[in-house]
Amino acid sequence: MRIDSINPFNGQVVNCYETHKPDEVENIIRSVHLAWGNWRTISFTKRAELLNRTAGILRERKSELAMLMATEMGKPLKGGIAEVEKCADACEFYAKHTEDFLRDEIISTDASKSYVSFQPLGLILAVMPWNFPFWQVFRFLAPALMAGNCGILKHASNVFGCAVEIENIIRAAGFPENVFRTLLIPGSEVNPVIENGLVKAVTLTGSTEAGKKVAEKAGSLIKKTVLELGGSDAYVVLHDADLELAAETCVNSRLINSGQSCIAAKRFIVVKSVLEEFTDLFLKKMGSKIMGDPTDPTTDIGPQARTDLRNELHEQVKKSIEMSAKCLLGGFIPDGNNAFYPPTVLTGVKKGMPAYDEELFGPVAAIISAENESDAIKIANDSVFGLGAAIFSKDIARAETIAATQIEAGSCFVNAFVKSDQRLPFGGVKQSGYGRELSYYGIKEFVNIKTVYVK
């Protein structure tokens, strides 16, 4: 089977890839498993050396890799460069800290010696999305390799070029052959990989529906999974918020990666007393952003990754408008053989509308009016998703209490937009998934937390 990579800016074919046949997939899996037998014995010092070398290669090639992302999925260059830098940071973080993170923990019991040891599981399958084609992979790969696991990547079909380059980078850094490999297969062929007895666990970042399918298959085989799924992040603007800061932060978050981010702000829940002023500020800032060629360094918003995804987004907008939402900005498909969708602002958004209930994966903002603080919190939690959230208020202590104890999400930021950071755990609740990536917590998802007891 041949899969084409299509540039969403101009509709042209970037490259074409022959997918791996079933026997090739089987051989790759077997090769990675065999490589694990030796890799698991390599010292933390040697693993760290290789991962630091990987960080160096990423930084050396960041402009080239950003251009690849721009042509394969439309990411503006400045976003792509920042993404590659973040991957390098994660490599260096785990190179520095893993030995301490996975050090034996001595536990005092009636034994002469008892402790907890952290041992690698083996071959981990990563099913990754197109929106952050390097970061999503490296936030799994860096801790997995440092913990002594090996990895297999099944990347989204429209970013196979990125997938191939990640394998090339790992090889160029000097990692042993087959410690990490890429499978060029469509999503319909993931189940046989999960079923393979040499695959010990699966991590997936993607849609809730994709997560359900992978979790069902892996669960039937009693294989560990970590799922980071969709989100409809609520940004709550209280009556005492710094509205200039709130509007600027909310717009920047909504337009991260041209709006195609699971942790981008999507629902803006504003207390009624400041709704009009916030909306005016928000509109001005959304309208000032530059949409255009993702390879132009001045571009803020590139095309959506694929025309079918852009069209699905537009249908959600149209249906919300038909149900009485008002469109104050954007809301149309531009002319041309491309996947652009303009910054769009919907107001009067109510429960039952796609803009309220569903994830809008693109540069569309849903502004929702709340009567007061308690109503705003209720609306924020009135979602099947629970990935991230933010609170805006000048009363920092009050906002922190709300963030820590009242918002149902895997992370909640105060007067700032939600972002992932290798020093902090990242993940969701409800239909946004389970398990954590990054930090001390993330590296322990794919190890055997083993009790050792010596009488």
Is residue 201 within 8 Å of 219, Cβ to Cβ? no
Sequence-ordered strand ranges (E) for 99-174: 105-106, 113-120, 123-127, 150-154
- DSSP label at 188? G
Q: What is the dihedral of CA 113, 115, 118, 119, to 10 degrees?
A: 30
- What is the C-alpha separation between 288 and 202, in angstroms, rounded? 42
- Listing from the earlier edge strand, what are the strands of the sheet with 199-205? 180-183, 150-154, 123-127, 199-205, 224-228, 433-434
Instruction: Identify residue 18 by its one-letter amino acid code.
Output: E
Catalytic site residue 209? no
Catalytic residue among 91, 262, 359, 437: 262
Largest CA distance in the chain: 75
**Rg of the chain, C-alpha, whole Å:** 23
Half-sphere exposure of 343 (CA within 13 A, CB side): 22
- Tokens 């429960």 belong to which residue? 351
Beta bridge partners of 113: 454
Catalytic residue, from 72, 83, 165, 228: name it: 228
Task: Work out the number of other CB atoms within 10 angstroms of the CB of residue 269.
Answer: 25
Dihedral sign computed on CA atoms, order 305, 348, 267, 300: positive
The yes-or-no answer on residue 262 being catalytic is yes
Beta bridge mates, 15: 5
Pairing of β 150-154 and β 429-430: unpaired
Half-sphere exposure of 236 (CA within 13 A, CB side): 32
Cα separation of 10 and 153, whole Å?
28
Count the Cβ atoms, other than its own, within 10 Å of residue 201.
21
Query: Catalytic site residues?
Result: 228, 262
